[in-house]
Amino acid sequence: MNFDLPEELKVIREATRKFAEKELIPISQHMEETKVMPAEIIAKLKELGYFGIVTPVEYGGMGLSNVGHCVIQEELARANLAFCLLISGNNGIGSMGILYFGNEAQKQKYLPRMATGELLSCFALTEPNAGSDAAAIQMKAEKKGDQYILNGMKHFITRADISDVFTVIAVTDKAKRQKGGFSAFIVEKDAPGFKIGKLQDSMGSDILHQCEMIFEDCEVPAENLLGQEGDGWKAAMRVLEEGRLGQGARSCGMARRLIDLCVDHANTRVQFGKPIAANQAIQWMLADMAVELYAMQCMTYDAAWRLDQGDRTQARASKVKLFCTEAIGRIADRAVQIFGGMGYMREAPIESIYREARALRIYEGTSEIQRLIISRDVLNK
């Protein structure tokens, strides 16, 4: 067994790490204070191809594997999770529906412009009455002539306010529900009858917004149906499975940053005449953080590699998401403790990472829902 990254990915990791250290980490704290990502950095991310990491080369992307995608997400999340969230629609939940279920015309129309970042995209499943129980969605899509008419509401949708294209899951057959009754649609932001509702102010993840999306007799051309009518649930589950691996990689990046910050702080903060790192209580917290990071990285890259070999199980992605997002919660909590009062103050970067980390146990399926998926798999065996 060889757990080393292939040479090509080592080069990409090094380049992303250098870019993050030189250009992203230095502006991260300012971004947290102003809640704005500078336009020139967004332009740079586009220019360097980060919006098309996994898009196949024939559609203008880098065509990286799941392992490669994890490498980049880890490095960007180390700088600030917002960079991952910005590119994640185009590389993940906002584009995968088109990549896996779209026809050639849909792929040609959207993927190349998503890969350059000209079009931003997002994924809209959650509704006010359908979160964990996503199969309870109410949003209707009725076929009328050569259009589908969408009615309903989505909420908590990341980046919807700045996206041009959405993958939207709606009910086309009420009786069948998730068993062939849901369909996936590509909806463009200027579709008649669509508007963004409230921007939902949140605890963290607030450089990019979560939004309400309102569809009132929204007209979507029938040619924007993804796959066949009834493929919506399959599309949503596939998109979420790969998204969940990404949560593992992002947690690893955030953990690395926290450990680096804590090591610096523990070595320089002097109390009782010696650096706090001289205390075994602090050393043990650092040791526990390092052990969890190691386990997180092993799980994430093992699962990504297996997925690249075509070995896919929903439960494995759920195990990664569950373990890594819970571990980053513990790591962030210890980081606040090691920083003491300064860990609680907005002037140090710890508190914003702590808030960001909290959301990871909720979106793309809560920890409880991951346990549900894993336990079903265990019991079925």
Question: Which residues are the active-site residues?
Answer: 364
Cα 178 to its chain centre, rounded Å, is 23
Least separation, in Å, of the C-beta of 249 and ligand FAD? 17
Nearer to ligand FAD, 169 or 259 (CB): 169
- CA R_g for the chain: 21
User: Of 208 and 277, which has the nearer Cβ to ligand FAD?
Assistant: 208
Task: Evaluate whether 193 touches 150 at the Cβ level (below 8 Å).
Answer: yes
Decide if 358 contacts 329 (C-beta within 8 A).
yes
Smallest gap from residue 126 Cβ to ligand FAD (A): 3
**CB 23, min distance to ligand FAD, A:** 25
* Residue nearer to ligand FAD on the CB measure, 32 or 364: 364
Q: Which two tokens stand for residue 310?
A: 């075509």
Residue 4 φ then ψ, to 5° = -70, 150
Q: In terms of CB distance, is 65 or 88 closer to ligand FAD?
A: 88
In the bound complex, what is the minimum distance in angstroms from residue 139's beta carbon to ligand FAD?
Answer: 11
Which among 87, 160, 71, 88 has a CA at the least distance from the CA of 124? 160
CA 141 to chain centre: 27
Which residue number places its CB atom closest to ligand FAD? 131
Looking at the Cβ atoms of 103 and 132, the one nearer to ligand FAD is: 132
Amino acid symbol at 154? K
Helix residue ranges per DSSP H, the chain: 7-19, 25-34, 39-47, 66-79, 81-91, 96-101, 104-115, 232-268, 280-308, 314-339, 341-344, 350-360, 367-380
- The footprint of ligand FAD (CB under 6 A) covers 122-126, 131-132, 156-158, 202, 205, 210, 359, 362-366, 368-369, 372
Q: Based on CB atoms, which residue is closest to ligand FAD, 67 or 240?
A: 240
Torsion angle of C-alpha atoms 351, 352, 355, 359, degrees rounded to 10: -150
CA distance readout (Å), 107 to 83, 85, 140, 147: 25, 22, 25, 19
- CB of residue 209 to ligand FAD, shortest distance in Å: 9
CB 166 within 8 A of CB 123: yes
